Amino acid sequence: MQAPGRCCHWASLPGPSVREVASMYGTAVAVFLVILVAALQGSAPTESRLPYHIPLDPEGSLELSWNVSYAQEAIDFQLLVRRLEAGVLFGMSDRGKPENADLVVLWTDGDTAYFADAWSDQNGQIHLDPQQDYQLLQVQRTPEGLVLLFKRPFGTCDPKDYLIEDGTVHLVYGILEKPFQSLETINASGLRMGLQRVQLLKPDIPNPKLPSDTYTMEIHAPNIRIPSRETTYWCHVKELPKGFSRHHIIMYEPIVTEGNEALVHHMEVFQCPPEMDSVPYFSGPCDSETKPDNLNYCRRVLAAWALGAKAFYYPEEAGLAFGGPGSSRYLRLEVHYHNPLVKEGQHDSSGIRLYYTPTLRRFDAGIMELGLVYTPVMAIPPQETDFVLTGYCTDNCTQLALPPSGIHIFASQLHTHLAGRKVVTVLVRDGREWEIVNQDNHYSPHFQEIRMLKKIVSVHRGDVLITSCTYNTEDREQATVGGFGIMEEMCVNYVHYYPQTELELCKSAVDAGFLQEYFHLINRFNGGKEVCTCPQPSVPQQFASVPWNSFSRKVLQALYGFAPISMHCNKSWAIRFQGEWNLQPLPKVISSLGAPTPQCPPRRCPTPAGPTIISIVGDRG
Amino acid sequence: MQAPGRCCHWASLPGPSVREVASMYGTAVAVFLVILVAALQGSAPTESRLPYHIPLDPEGSLELSWNVSYAQEAIDFQLLVRRLEAGVLFGMSDRGKPENADLVVLWTDGDTAYFADAWSDQNGQIHLDPQQDYQLLQVQRTPEGLVLLFKRPFGTCDPKDYLIEDGTVHLVYGILEKPFQSLETINASGLRMGLQRVQLLKPDIPNPKLPSDTYTMEIHAPNIRIPSRETTYWCHVKELPKGFSRHHIIMYEPIVTEGNEALVHHMEVFQCPPEMDSVPYFSGPCDSETKPDNLNYCRRVLAAWALGAKAFYYPEEAGLAFGGPGSSRYLRLEVHYHNPLVKEGQHDSSGIRLYYTPTLRRFDAGIMELGLVYTPVMAIPPQETDFVLTGYCTDNCTQLALPPSGIHIFASQLHTHLAGRKVVTVLVRDGREWEIVNQDNHYSPHFQEIRMLKKIVSVHRGDVLITSCTYNTEDREQATVGGFGIMEEMCVNYVHYYPQTELELCKSAVDAGFLQEYFHLINRFNGGKEVCTCPQPSVPQQFASVPWNSFSRKVLQALYGFAPISMHCNKSWAIRFQGEWNLQPLPKVISSLGAPTPQCPPRRCPTPAGPTIISIVGDRG
């Protein structure tokens, strides 16, 4: 689809050395960046049909917009390339590495520009994918830059392709600075590559209307100067007006200072405990020595946002109560600035805007912790690639603590420390896995957001909730025990639900006595040498003395999968519900949900066996 | 390819009920069985190109011939159907069941005959395979019956297809007695189906020439009457002539009485121990009360044959010594008659013909046992689908017992009792898996034959040989311990090699003390209740008292994969080589061979998406 008379190559190359070529080519591109408005196939979605946006790189020179069609099980992607050099790579990989990635590549050999579905092998070497599953819809030159529009199904049944699932997706991107004779001459490991985490499959639920008596409150940094270091957690105290009565938060949204979109990584608003009657004002880095100590106790989540998320709406029958008696007047805003280019002098007033109403909704929303108790008895051996720990909320606890009509979970925030790689919570009813509450197969501790569930999950009395976390400790020499420290681990799912109940925490850990049997056995296998010679060794000391071999690893795993548990079925302030919670048997699961089988299209003849040639024609920029 | 004027349908149907149709159709087939000589595609291999033959059913009405092309990685099959009814099924499945089978189906809807690549699901329901990998080469009417010739690659990369591997293949066959409107209306579970075990991938090695001074000796049953019961092991004693000097057996072949091809399942010739100076003559069922007791000690294998095997040739540099001083003059022939139709009055003189020479070859061949010691310390929990036990021949033993130039394994016979499902022996050199000595992923204890290796495997001093057996105990309530009994288990690879050494047995078992630690732990987990209350419990008693749950199963597996072993590095008569053989560490394996990746053809457009229509034309039979 070449407009006659207006055609010029994207770049026309002279001859000599690669270096010269690259540099001249750069100039050529700058001068002749002339792009075709080419509706290649299918219909292009309009801007309004692409509701989600995220900057890919810290400079913001690559920007992704997308929509999700659950009917078609496909995503339309729009990639804006503000300053095109010799091409771009975009795609996905398990943990965001450029190797073993599923990619689309826009490149030129100097004469012709190409677009292709490709993949990188474990060495980063790029290969053409024999099955072309990214469908190019449009290439367009706009005043902002080059816009590529393409479509991809969630699953392609091509083993080289990434399966787009619920939860976190690690997007990878890269810049081609020079032409390549062919796709096979490109190695992603040697390029300027980066990653961006995002939830691609946003839930497709309509936002409830806000009532007319909705008020807003902004909690934001007071035009601070972002520190010139890679990572800053900024803490900012906000005081509610005196006599602020009980309200329901029914929605919140991010306020991101223009120009800082690529710097503001995530933000949370916490409420302090009600018994803290005064909190001094503070605005500064959370690790500052001048930060008031008691700010650390302000941990009740009111709002949480992360890059790529949009406004968070409570279901129309519920709201999060704040204000009034028994509710602290002090809030803490925490902003995570991610400044890998160490930009200086950047000012920021980002924060969160709460939408709240005095007309209380039918139900108070509540937050409940599922998963593992923070205790060292749950540990991960070192050098494991995918060790699973599991925490239980048992039928005894839900029977006792839930109202007769049950509760309804509408959102979930998964949480681990640095070794976490996957998290899933499954609802078990009558011994059968019933439905998944929330699952993230590409979980990252660096990307924790409150996610609306696609579908509200109702939990009945007597149901069981099983939360499993998968950890990677390949880079560690010692066992990683459960605990609060950053190098210790957690396995938690904070579920947001209504109506609020007294049950704040429904978690478990292996029985400590059975764990001692484990240490005894390892000790005997170890030729009678005590695993720890200390007179009263602590559990972390005992774990530190275990010789980690196939036997001690497998037996620990078998122990966690079999030994009785101690349940924490708790109200506020760690008060347990009345009942027998120690030496409880593991809940029995007699049938599993199994992995969803992707609907594969029937075998097709290879359509575009090669890359798509893009006729780079059009007006001069 | 219809010969005009001579065309008539395979069967032409009137109308009414299915029953009537089937019966009339049967008549029609008998009368009009008229088949086309149709060279459909490719070239048909001639009879001489199909060297292997096996009857499929006990009546011998279906007969399979085949050849193997290692260059093409494909097999030509020729199926002779002596009395065609309304069609046949033929194919393969993991263990010979009609469900989950990879099949070709020849069927008719009454008017037209079809041939198709199909598969049966877990309920036996037959489905057309979207990828047609059996290529029909020829359909031919012969005086003997209908002959179907078709070709299939070893591997098709179709997940519904069976992968043809080395070792045992379970062939399945079935008879269609009536027409079916379509393939999808056939259910294999309801048909007359059967199975036949065979080694399809016969090694492609030329047979060495026999020297001119080769003599033969037949050891066969003396025209006995095959008992009218399903299973008979017939024992027959043969005495070598007095003064029979030392010879080398250099080849042997089966002698199967004509007409009994489907009844004679396997045959072995054993030699008695040299110190047994007289063995009374006997010819009768091996379980007869009149059988001399000491016949049980005659266990040195001279020759072994099983259904589908051809002559066994020793490599030209080696022979199996028998005769002369130190060699018993008494041989025992064992014939396994498999008579599922309980035929009566069938006479038989089957046996084995030995080819031997007085001109001794350069090397004596030897037989060595690899795998597990026959001891109850190696046990399989009940209700396991694929529990693996592993036996080691360690570097210490091969270092001490092998000659400096090593040994050369040229054949192997795998052995387990009834729970065995897979067996593999891997050679490990310098800690790395080096090559597979022999592997059978579809091993059956009912089909044990000496198999020539495709390639001689040389074992150096310091090499390790690891033999793993996979067991299925789904139908058992108690643990299965190692031992000699039919309900106990073994894991053995009898390797045939040269030059003969003193090393007759290189096997291992877990250290008994470490197993006691396992019982102690299970005891403590069991709440202090002793796993066995007997004062001096035996290991089988201890295993019988273990409560089998996920923990006791996994810890036993972890124990076998970690605990030190006791080595049996033995000469004849259980005399150990000198050395420290107890509490030996498990050999370390730092790299694995990994599964061979099948070379998949590139994705093709679906060729014959439907079945092939066979024009059933030709002369009347």
| Per-residue pLDDT tens over the stretch A248-271 | 999 999 999 998 988 898 899 999
pLDDT over 50 (residue A338): yes
Chain B residue numbers with beta carbons less than 8 Å from the beta carbon of A609 are none
Chain A residue numbers with beta carbons less than 8 Å from the beta carbon of B558 are 550-551, 554-555, 558
Asked whether the beta carbons of residue A551 and residue B557 sit closer than 8 angstroms, the reply is no
Residues B460, B372 share a domain: yes
Encode A239-296 in three state secondary structure: ECCCCCCCEEEEEEEEECCCCCCCCEEEEEEEECCCCCCCCCCCEEECCCCCCCHHHH
Task: List residues of A whose CB lies inside 8 A of any B CB.
Answer: 130-131, 514, 517, 520-521, 524-525, 549-551, 554-555, 557-559, 561-563, 602-606
Encode B382-404 in three state secondary structure: CCCCCEEEEEEECHHHHHHHCCC
| Cβ A392 vs Cβ A464: under 8 Å | yes
Hey, how many other C-beta atoms are within 10 angstroms of the C-beta on A218?
12
Does residue A600 lie within any of the structural domains? Answer: no
Residue among B415, B417, B496, B568 flagged as catalytic: B415
- What is the SS3 assignment for A421? strand
Check residue B26 and give its pLDDT: 38
Chain B residue numbers with beta carbons less than 8 Å from the beta carbon of A558 are 550-551, 554-555, 558
Tokens (6 digits) for A569: 């079925």
Chain A residue numbers with beta carbons less than 8 Å from the beta carbon of B559 are 551
| Per-residue pLDDT tens over the stretch B493-525 | 999 999 999 998 999 999 999 999 999 899 888
Residue in B517, B524, B605 nearest the CB of A525:
B517
What does pLDDT average to over chain B? 86
User: How many angstroms separate the Cα of B295 from the Cα of each of B224, B277, B334, B568?
Assistant: 19, 12, 11, 26
The single residue listed with the structure tokens 């400079």 is: A59
Asked whether the beta carbons of residue A554 and residue B554 sit closer than 8 angstroms, the reply is yes
Among candidate residues B202, B230, B262, the one where a domain is terminated: B202
What is the distance between the alpha carbons of residues B263 and B346, in angstroms, rounded to a whole number? 10
What is the distance between the alpha carbons of residues B294 and A156, in angstroms, rounded to a whole number? 67
Nearest to B299 by CA among B269, B256, B255: B269
pLDDT over 60 (residue B258): yes
For an interface test with B, give the residue of A158, A555, A583 to mutate (most B CBs within 10 A): A555
Residue in A517, A550, A557 nearest the CB of B521:
A517
Question: What's the pLDDT band for A497 if we cut at 50, 70, 90?
Answer: very high
Check residue B58 and give its pLDDT: 84
Does residue B2 lie within any of the structural domains? Answer: no
Does residue A11 lie within any of the structural domains? Answer: no
- What is the SS3 assignment for A574? helix
Check residue A301 and give its pLDDT: 83
CA distance A517 to chain B (A): 7
**What is the mean pLDDT of the segment spanning B472-479?**
96
Q: Which residues contact A405 (CB under 8 A, 6 or more apart)?
A: none
Residue B415 is among the residues annotated as catalytic for this protein:
yes
| Per-residue pLDDT tens over the stretch B354-398 | 999 999 999 999 989 999 999 999 999 999 999 999 999 999 999
Question: From A513, which residue of chain B is nearest by alpha-carbon distance?
Answer: B525
Does residue B37 lie within any of the structural domains? Answer: no
ipTM: 0.72
Residues A315, A440 share a domain: no
Asked whether the beta carbons of residue A549 and residue B562 sit closer than 8 angstroms, the reply is yes
Give me the DSSP letters along B505-543.
EEEEEE-HHHHHHHHHHHHHHTTT--S--SSS--HHHHH
Does residue B475 lie within any of the structural domains? Answer: yes
pLDDT over 60 (residue A607): no
Check residue A376 and give its pLDDT: 96
User: How many angstroms separate the Cα of B159 from the Cα of each of B132, B135, B174, B529?
Assistant: 12, 18, 23, 49
Question: What's the pLDDT band for A568 if we cut at 50, 70, 90?
Answer: very high
Greater confidence (A319 vs B24) lies with A319
Asked whether the beta carbons of residue A603 and residue B602 sit closer than 8 angstroms, the reply is no
CA distance A471 to chain B (A): 21
Nearest to A81 by CA among A175, A189, A177: A175
- What is the SS3 assignment for B317? coil
| Per-residue pLDDT tens over the stretch A218-232 | 999 999 999 998 889
Residues A66, A166 share a domain: yes
Does residue A603 lie within any of the structural domains? Answer: no
CATH number, position A385:
2.60.120.230
Residues B559, B434 share a domain: yes
User: How many angstroms separate the Cα of B422 from the Cα of each of A456, B265, B322?
Assistant: 47, 20, 32
Check residue B443 and give its pLDDT: 97
> What's the number of domains chain B is made of?
3
Residues B423, B290 share a domain: no
Check residue B209 and give its pLDDT: 93
Report the sign of the C-alpha dihedral through residues A79, A82, A86, A91, in that order: negative
| Per-residue pLDDT tens over the stretch B116-131 | 999 999 999 999 988 8
Does residue B380 lie within any of the structural domains? Answer: yes
Chain A residue numbers with beta carbons less than 8 Å from the beta carbon of B523 are none
Residue in B131, B517, B602 nearest the CB of A521:
B517
Among candidate residues A361, A391, A418, the one where a domain is terminated: A361
Residues B379, B246 share a domain: no
User: How many angstroms separate the Cα of A115 from the Cα of each of A104, A151, A193, B288, B400?
Assistant: 7, 13, 18, 79, 63
| Cβ B79 vs Cβ B64: under 8 Å | yes
Chain B residue numbers with beta carbons less than 8 Å from the beta carbon of A130 are 602-603
Residues B353, B264 share a domain: yes
CATH number, position B171:
2.60.40.1210
Residues A587, A484 share a domain: yes
CA distance B525 to chain A (A): 7
Nearest to A439 by CA among A424, A457, A455, A454: A424
Residues B579, B459 share a domain: yes
**What is the mean pLDDT of the segment spanning B302-329?**
90
Tokens (6 digits) for B7: 């065309």
**What is the mean pLDDT of the segment spanning B408-437?**
96
Residues B520, B465 share a domain: yes
| Residue pairs between chains A and B whose CB atoms are closer than 8 Å | 65
Structural domain of B521? 366-592
Question: From B556, which residue of chain A is nearest by alpha-carbon distance?
Answer: A555
Question: From A588, which residue of chain B is nearest by alpha-carbon distance?
Answer: B550
Check residue A541 and give its pLDDT: 93
pLDDT over 90 (residue A160): no
Question: What's the pLDDT band for B18 if we cut at 50, 70, 90?
Answer: very low
Does residue B544 lie within any of the structural domains? Answer: yes
**What is the mean pLDDT of the segment spanning A284-292?**
91
What is the distance between the alpha carbons of residues B282 and B235, in angstroms, rounded to a whole number? 7
